[in-house]
Structure 1
């Protein structure tokens, strides 16, 4: 058994955690900027208060509000792209 394996796992885990915290902090800064534009918040389905509450959460807390994905329509409808008809 390699003695460095547990240490390497711990270091890699800490590195991944710090990267996740950094991404959350960056996303929350961006959300705080978006909160100044109500039409963009409406597209996300968030109110100003919800956006600011999320933007001020510490990075070690996961997201409270999730953006709901909207169903998408195909961009192009073409019989050439429909392989079931061929």
Structure 2
């Protein structure tokens, strides 16, 4: 299977996992804080996985770094 396809599938799985809700009753503030954290973390991981699917050697490391940062920023903006 292609690395890009694996990275895309992992990103979709992580994004779907970030949408799960807890069984415990929580206040709105706790939900918002946890959702913000989960969105940022999911974006960071997904961006890193997608970025690492490109390039080779130092280029792959650079793409993973850029993907990690961009994914974290986008995940934070979307969830907070």
Q: TM-score, normalised by structure 1?
A: 0.36
If asked which structure has higher relative contact order (CA below 8 Å, sep 6+), I would say: 2
Q: TM-score, normalised by structure 2?
A: 0.38
Higher helix share: 2
